[in-house]
Structure 1
Amino acid sequence: MTTAAPATRSIAVTNPATGEVLAQFDTQGPAEIETCIRTAQEAARQLRATGYATRAAWMRRAADLLEADREEVARAVVTEMGKTIVQARAEVTKSARTMRFYADHAEEFLADQPLAAPERVGAGQALTKYQPLGVVLAVMPWNYPIWQAMRFAAPALMAGNAGVLKHASNVPQSALYLDSLFTRGGFPPGSFSSLLIGSGAVASIIADPRIAAVTLTGSEGAGRSVGEHAGRAIKKTVLELGGSDPFLVMPGADLEKAAKTAVAARMNNNGQSCIAGKRFIVHTDVYDEFAALFARKIAALSVGDPLQETTDIGPLATLSGRDELAGQVDDAVTHGARVLAKAATPAEGTGWYYPPTLLENVGPDSRLFLEEAFGPVAVLYRAADEQEAVALANGTPFGLSSAVWTNDDDQARRIVDALEAGAVFVNGMSVSYPELPFGGVRDSGYGRELGAAGIREFCNLKTVWIG
């Protein structure tokens, strides 16, 4: 039986815009964890026995329910982690679209693959097939409470797996909503369940032999811990960890469009996105013009109540996150960084706000040079040429996503090949799409979510040889 700490009343919903505690929930103990895993195991058996058409019908019905609940869910997300109401609604819509995408394409992505010339392996027929692993544990973060969970849940369930979600402790409302959504759509009870538990309970759940695999989106430290425990248990993992994504701007690029996109790339989700552009590396020939455009647009951002339709930037999700970001910026300034722009914020004491800020001259002795900044802070770097720009881009331990702005097709191809990242966006910003694989390299993790690759991650690729 899985063990964990006794239940305590320790999970709270705290509104980041006010600091007010809105609700509290009991954490779940060993008996509830055991029931959850046992029910998930039974659901996995049932899902494996159903056809794609049945699972797709359930998934589409769950997507319809999510869309019908959009306003309620969006407002709950805002009060839990502070993103703007406009972006919260978009997150719900994107999640429902992803559910329908996998309902439409799972059978195609997981179809048997016959070997074209089986006689080469001495067979009359040879093929590979994808089959579900069983129960998969998902450890998910707070920054996209619905989307992060859904980009695992939709493909996992359509593949015939069951999912157990350990969500971030500051978004229990989102976790509890997801706990019931798929059952409401028609999936067997236990197909996707949420556990309100602390991080200390995760290791024992990973060790449970009924858990077949683990996926985590979170910090580098959390990834190392989960990877270590899963490795001891010899279980498959997918880790999507931090990023310090470069955004390169080369001569000839549309600077007005690049600057406008740079603001969106950095400030989306109040700057709390793993694939946000964080380091803006600009060729010296266009540096001054781009910096002026970028600074002006950042200074004009509206910071305030995230429930207001016109707000651009809300509060950070946690007080500790705001303090961490403030410490990184203060350290950079102490070491010689210069503040080029800073937007206005609400009055002191009205929430966990941090002003959207643009810095330059951040040197290698500053924390911001290598650390991920998780909030509305952008850093400008001047590059003498293409080679220096690429070297700066690759000069961190991370490798999640990246972007490059150039109108030179040959240069674009060279930079795409040279950047050490899981994705490169040319003349655009890094965005996750259900149609495209998503994931990183180096300290940004391994494995892929989304696309065909994402649904195959938690399947057994079985070889079949028929004489």
Structure 2
Amino acid sequence: MTATVSTQPKYRVVNPATGDVGESFDFASEAEIESALAASDAAFRSWRELPIAERARIVTRVAELFRENSARLGAIATEEMGKPLQEAVDEADFCGDIFEYFATEGPELAADQEIKTFAKGKAYVQRLPIGPLLGIMPWNYPFYQIARFAAPNLVLGNTIILKHAESVPKSALAVQELMDEAGIPKGVYTNIFASYDQIEDIIGDRRVVGVSLTGSERAGSVVASIAGRNLKKCVLELGGSDAYVVLDTDDVKAAADLAWDTRIGNTGQACNSNKRMIVSDDIFDDFVGQLVERAKDLKPGDPAKLQDGAFSPLSSRKAAEILDEQVQDAVSKGATLHAGGVLGEGPAAYYSPAVLTGITPEMRAYREELFGPVAVVYSVSSDDEALELANDSDYGLGGAVFSTDTERAEKIARRLESGMSNVNTPANEGQEVPFGGVKRSGFGRELGPLGMDEFVNKRMYFVAE
């Protein structure tokens, strides 16, 4: 190991509703990193030899524990990153669904697949585990992000080294506790409080065979570069600026309400949130007016007991300041801020949900991801213009198209340059539905059948007659 580790605590809890600093945790020492690598490598030798049904049985217990502890886990996420409490509890419950799905469906998804051969014998594709994997996870869904990476790989027989975001250490430790309680053997799942320098060394270590990152475009570029130099497989989910196209509706208020509720979920901090609403010009003014009605007069609230008419903080003061800079840049160049968009006093991280129109290409908001509760709305005069604008993005995570004429919506949805495309719903999300993007939103898929197909040795196995 060559990394130089800071002597100051870096992993720490900062309540974004107050700015109060809670517990802090030191970076792992070089000895602790080496111990984690050695344990993961050794555990792989035995974990992969367990019958997949036995691994699935243990993972089923993980699912049960997520559900049994959802209230406690939710409170931790609310404290660390400001997620509204009920949303945080629901997230933990959803993790139970994810682990249960892979425990139930995984053995069949990983079963040998016989393929047609012209030779005399039988040919199969086998899906075999490949070894220790590094997961680098973000703060915005501190449990869900882990679940969608860890669940399929634990069932497959891979082992996990998990580096979580530095702002959610208690969430990271809580998941480790659940894994231990469920009976996941030592070394099969290991949380580490690693530094960025240490991460580079871990990816380069011969014992680690792959890395999965959910994070920023910049972080993805760095991790992919390191993985490429070391010939390691990687999966990247790097955010998005999803198009949300409303071609027509017979109820503008209902359409706007759905768009608003989608946008402010997790206080706007979701990778596949509807960050660009593209609305036909004949309903545009009414649609924007309805959004403004939802946005105006909102007050900062306590995410642990959020009331109607209140909003939660962003994850950090820095996140709120970056979002404010993006919105102010747009306003200074001619955009219209109809409601909200007020940065609260520090050190808390409140930013009032906003409605923004008149975005043009010279503004940062046109190209950059707005990771917070800002509804950006564009007006278009034709379906072709809607499609062109929807695809005019460096990102390609998800997208949705709405119309009372399903066939009309499908004509656009089928041509969206995205990893996920939806008709007449903001997103079809579930443990069985693959998640991932194209373009600068990354590559690879998690969840669903494709989630079992990333970190595997798809070995050809032939038995001659």
Q: Note closer, same or farther for the CA distance 1:7–1:103 as it changes in structure 2 (3 Å cut).
A: farther
Deviations 1:223-267 (Å, cap 9, x if unpaired)? 000000000111111000020011100124542332111112111
Q: Is 1:11–2:11 an aligned residue pair?
A: yes
Among 304, 320, 323, which residue is 1:322 paired with?
320
Letter of the structure 1 residue corresponding to residue 114 of structure 2: P
C-alpha contact 1:359 1:380 (8 A) present in aligned 2: yes
Conserved 8 A contact 1:299-1:343: no
1:336 is matched by which residue type in structure 2? G
What number of residue pairs does the alignment pair up?
A: 463
Contact 1:361 1:381 in 2 (8 A): yes
Sort the Cα spacing of 1:46 and 1:353 in 2 relative to 1 into closer, same or farther, 3 A.
same
Equivalent position of 2:146 in the other structure: 149
For 1:252 and 1:178, locate their aligned partners in 2 and report how far apart those are by CA, in whole Å.
Answer: 43
Q: Deviation of residue 100 (structure 1)?
A: 0.6
Q: Which moved more, 1:126-135 or 1:402-411?
A: 402-411
Could you report, residue by residue, the CA deviation over 1:392-444 in whole angstroms, capped at 9, with x for unpaired residues? 11111000001111121221221122110011121111353210110000000
CA distance in 2, matches of 1:13, 1:244: 29
Shift of 1:198: 2.0
Report what 1:61 is aligned to. Answer: 61
Partner of 1:418: helix, strand, or coil?
A: coil
CA distance in 1, matches of 2:342, 2:11: 32
- Residue of structure 1 in register with 2:275 after alignment: 278
SS at match of 2:396: coil
Is this contact kept in 2: 1:91–1:146, CA < 8 A?
Answer: yes
Partner residue of 2:228 out of 209, 231, 243: 231
> Percent sequence identity over matched residues?
38
Q: Does 1:265 align with 2:286?
A: no
One-letter amino acid of the counterpart of residue 325, structure 1: L
Structure 1 residues 50 and 7, CA gap change in structure 2 (3 angstroms): farther
Stretch of structure 1 that moved more, 382-391 or 180-189? 180-189
Instruction: Give the deviation of 1:66 after TM superposition.
Output: 2.1
Q: Is the 8 A contact 2:249 2:255 kept in 1?
A: no
1:450 is matched by which residue type in structure 2?
L
Deviations 1:295-322 (A, max 9, x none): 2122265531100142653111111111
Cα distance in 1, alignment partners of residues 156 and 232 from structure 2: 18
SS at match of 1:49: coil
SS in 2 for 1:9: coil
Contact 2:316 2:348 in 1 (8 A): no
State the Cα deviation string for residues 106-127 of structure 1 (Å, max 9, x = none). 0111111112x43x2x131111
C-alpha change, 1:183 and 1:50, in structure 2 (3 Å) is same
**What's 1:135 paired with?**
132
Measure, in 2, the Cα distance between the counterparts of 1:334 and 1:323.
Answer: 16
CA offsets per residue over residues 44-89 of structure 1, 9 Å max, x none?
1121101122112211212222222222211111110001001000
Q: Which residue of 2 aligns with 1:417?
A: 414
- Map 1:351-362; keep pairs closer than 5 Å: 351-362=348-359
Give the partner amino acid of 2:318.
Answer: S
1:31 aligns with 2:47: no
- Report what 1:124 is aligned to: 121
Match of 2:182 among 166, 185, 195: 185
> Cα distance 1:4–1:455, how it changes in 2: closer, same or farther (>3 A)?
farther
Aligned to 1:222: 219
Q: Write the distance in 1 (CA, Å) between the matches of 2:149 and 2:249.
A: 39
Corresponding residue for 1:77? 77
1:96 aligned residue? 96
What is the TM-score normalised by the length of structure 1?
Answer: 0.96
Q: What's the counterpart of residue 341 of structure 1?
A: 339
Q: What TM-score comes out, normalization by structure 2 length?
A: 0.96
Q: Is the 8 A contact 2:431 2:448 kept in 1?
A: yes
1:99 Cα deviation from its structure 2 partner: 0.7
Asked if 1 retains the 8 angstrom alpha-carbon contact of 2:136 and 2:162, the reply is: yes
Q: Aligned partners of 1:329, 1:252: CA distance in 2, in Å?
A: 29
Instruction: Tell which deviates more after alignment, 443-452 or 348-357.
Output: 348-357
Contact 2:419 2:436 in 1 (8 A): yes
Q: Which residue of 2 aligns with 1:197?
A: 194
Q: What's 1:212 paired with?
A: 209
**Counterpart contact for 1:4–1:200, Cα < 8 Å:** yes
**CA offset at residue 141 of structure 1?**
0.4
Residue 350 of structure 1, CA deviation: 6.5
1:444 maps onto 2:425 in alignment: no
Q: Distance in 1 between matches of 2:407 and 2:424?
A: 14
